[in-house]
Structures are given as C-alpha cells and as structure tokens.
Amino acid sequence: MQEYTQKVTLEHLRIVLWTVLGSSVLVSLLTSVAMMNTTLKKIEVYNHRTELAHQHELEYQRKILLGNNGKPSPMAAKVSGLTPSELRKAESAAKTPSKPPNSKSEPESSVPPKSPTGFGSSTPSEKKGASSSFSSSGSSPSSPPTSPWSSTIHSSPPSSASSSSTATDLSPYKPPPGETKEHRFPKVIIVGVSKCGTRALLDYLALHPNVIAANKEINFFTNVSMYNKGPEVYKNSMPLSYSDQLTVEKSPDYFECEMCPERIIAIDRTIKLLLILCNPVDRLVSQYMQLKEKNDQSGTHMAGFEEWSVDPMTNTVRKNVASIRTGMYDQYMTNWFRFFHQDKVHVIDGATFIKDPVGEMRKVETFLEIKHYLTSEDIYYNATKGFHCMYSRIAKKSHCLGPTKGRPHIKVLPGVYQTLQTYYNPHNARLKSYFNYQMSWV
C-alpha cells in the first residue's frame, strides 16, 4: 500500500514535471513567434517610413530642377544667402541696370510653407543639393530600391582606441605593429554649425594622435552625384589611418540636411556626432561677412547687414533668408535626435570653446573615448593673431587658422541686433527645454 502510494506520488510528480517543462517550452516558443512578428512589423513600419521620406525628397528634387514658375529656386537663394526676392531683384538689376534697387520685401506667397519640424518643402538641405540616392523605380513602395546602398554596410565595431583616463598621456604615438594604413569610414562627424568654430574644432582634434581628420569638407551626404556612387566613394575620400585611430570629417552642410541623419546611420550605427552651437545672431554676422567678402570679390553689391537681415520698413526679421534659418538650431536638432541617441551626440558651447578650447577638447576626448592628450602646449593663445594657434607634437610644427577665422566682427546697430536676438530667443530657449543643453550665450 505504502509502495503503491509512493509510486502514485512519483507518477504524479513526473506528470507535473513534464507539464511544467512542456508548458514552458510552449510559452517560450509562443514568445519567440510573437517577438518575431513584432520585429517584422517594426521593419515594415521602418521601411514604409523610409520610403515616404524618399518620396518626399524626390518630389522636392523635382521642384528644384523644374523651378517654381520661373522664380529663382530656393537652392540659388541658399547659395547666395539672399532671399528669393533679393535674388530676383539682383537678376533683373543685372538685366536692366538703370532700375534702382528696391528694398521692399517680397510677397510671402512665393515661399513654400514650413512644416512643424522646420523641414517643409523649403528645407535648406535640399537646397544644398541633398537628394535621394534612389532611382525613381526605388520610390514605388513595391519595388526595393536598386542603389549602391542596397547591401547595407555596417563597418567594424569601434576600434580599440586607447581608453580614456583622467591623466594626460603625453607618450608618443606608435602604430599597431605590422599594420598598414587604410581608408576607413569616419567614426566621428562634425555636422555643424557653420561659422561657429567647426574648423577650429577639426584642427584641434587633428592634433590628437588617435585622430585622423579629413581636411576638406567632404559633403558626401549632401552631394547627389557623390552619394549615388555609394559608400565606397565615401570611404575612399577619407585619409589613411591605422585601426586605433578615429577618422573624423567635418561638413557643416549636413546640419540642415533632412536626409543626412538617416543616411549617416545607414553607414554605421555607432558613428558619433559633434555639434558646435554659438549665438545665432553672432553666427549670422559672421556668415554675412563671409558672403559679403565673396560678393565683393565678384563685384556684386550686397546690402548692409542691417538691411539684409531686418526689413527697415516693418522692423521684422527677413526669415526667408536661408542664413537666418540656420540659426533656428532646435528645429534641425529635432530631426537629428529622431535618428541619433543623445549620448551619441556631443554639443559644444561655441562661446566657451573660444574662451577655453583646451577644457572643451578634454570633454571631447572623453566623449570620443580617446586618451587625454591635448594641453595648452598644443592649443595656445596668440596675442598677435588675437586667436588660438596650434602646435603639433607629432609634426613638430605650429600653425594658425586662416585669416578669416577669428576676425573681429562688424558693429551692428543695437536695435537690429536686439530684433534678431528677440527673434531667436524662443529657439534658444528650446535648446534647454527640449534637449537640456544650457548654452552660456542664452
């Protein structure tokens, strides 16, 4: 009897065990199926969204190519920094030189409306020539895109660049034994903002032994003909490097380019971004000076800064001037953060960067996970130049930035400066409220 009970109990136990085991196997099977479904759904949604974005871009490209009722294309406006009306006037003035220039603003209707993200059909990215890499057949949802991109490449995991420590490591650089230099995809991209010190940032970074910088602005993601050739062209336009060196490129045009964030992560999901932000009014002054210099060289008249940026009749900011839109940082950053996690993006305060470049570069080294190397020996203030110069311990040479960098700004009428500042204030405030960046110039 006792034996029987024991047997029954054992039998029970076995049944219970098998049931538990069986159901757990079943549950995990069901879970995997469910997870697979979710993943498939996610991929589907992602593909659909990407497709939509490409269609949107193709349409815009067509608009640029076909023109807008013979009106100057927004691309031309971006290149010259003039509003479409100013451009039109400049064009008609060239044809009929007797006609005096007219400062009246153009009708709003000729400018396409802006979308909430700041990337309406007038997105500056596309004005700069950014456009889809996909052939028109690729824009139909049923057919997969046939482009050099169809085989998605994901470059190797981050190289084992010397890990960061708190101490400054001054030891000379030795390449990994037995290695030869190669072209490599960038691991770091300086995406903007132009006239905020991106050149200085790139040149300072280039002093670091674990960094190799592309000297030219590559503009791969905004250059249609280059982008259509595929990623190998991008890689081969990078300087040669060893595996323990980070390749960095700087193309400030990427900042306003709507398609760029997505195109960059398609190259490598681990790419880190550097973004330097300065007071948008000061940035505008700097940009104006650059444009004026160019126009002076080509003998083109350009209005004074005040009239160029603010309509004197109404005292309103000429918000159709492409260079003025650039300063609305929050709108463009919204797009970047749709694709990049904030810990992959390091934002530098442009004003602090000028005052304390070594301190800011230390933060950059930490962000890039490279050793602390740069000191005030490498980046030093030159009183004659009125700006920082560099000494390369690798090349044993010093050099200063070009004559246009760090040049003193023109005096701007206080009223106009204030009007512009007020215009940018809500955008500046969003840097803190949306993204939690406290800039010293806000």
Ligand X SMILES: *[C@@H]1O[C@H](CO)[C@@H](O)[C@H](O)[C@H]1NC(C)=O
What is the contact surface with ligand X in residues (CB under 6 A)?
A: 129, 219, 223, 225-226, 382, 384-385, 389, 398, 400
Active site residue 355: no
Smallest distance from ligand X to CB 129, Å: 5
Report, in Å, the least distance between residue 48 CB and ligand X: 30
Flag whether 299 is marked binding.
Answer: no
Is the Cβ of residue 255 or residue 305 nearer to ligand X in the bound state? Answer: 255
> First vs last Cα of the chain: how many Å apart?
88
Q: What is the distance between the alpha carbons of residues 275 and 363, in angstroms, rounded to a whole number?
A: 13
How far is CA 334 from its chain centroid? Answer: 11
Q: Does 405 appear as a known binding residue?
A: yes
According to DSSP, the β-strands at 310-311 and 240-241 are: unpaired
CB of residue 178 vs ligand X: minimum separation in angstroms?
33
Q: Which is nearer to ligand X, 149 or 234 (CB)?
A: 234
Give the SS3 label for residue 388: strand
Residue of 78, 89, 128, 195 marked catalytic: 195
SS in 3 state form for 271-298? CEEEEEECCHHHHHHHHHHHHHHHHHHC
Q: How far is the CB of 110 from ligand X (least distance, A)?
A: 24
In this structure, what DSSP letter does residue 135 have?
-
User: What DSSP line would sit under 308-372, residue for residue?
Assistant: HHEETTTTEE-TTSHHHHHT-HHHHHHHHHHHS-GGGEEEEEHHHHHH-HHHHHHHHHHHHT--B
Q: Is the peptide bond before 193 cis (omega within 30 degrees of 0)?
A: yes
The answer to the question of whether 197 is labelled as a binding residue is yes
Q: Residue 311 CB, nearest distance to ligand X (Å)?
A: 31
Q: How far is Cα of residue 20 from the mean position of the Cα atoms in its chain?
A: 54
CA 326 to chain centre: 12
Nearest-angstrom CA–CA distance, 393 and 318: 47
CB 326, min distance to ligand X, A: 18
Alpha carbon 333 to its chain's center: 9
Q: Which is nearer to ligand X, 103 or 382 (CB)?
A: 382
Only one residue has tokens 């670091």, namely 208
What's CA 413's distance to the chain center, in Å? 32
What DSSP designation does 238 have? S
**Residues comprising the binding site for 3'-phosphoadenylyl sulfate?**
195-199, 286, 405-409
Among all residues, which ones are annotated catalytic?
195
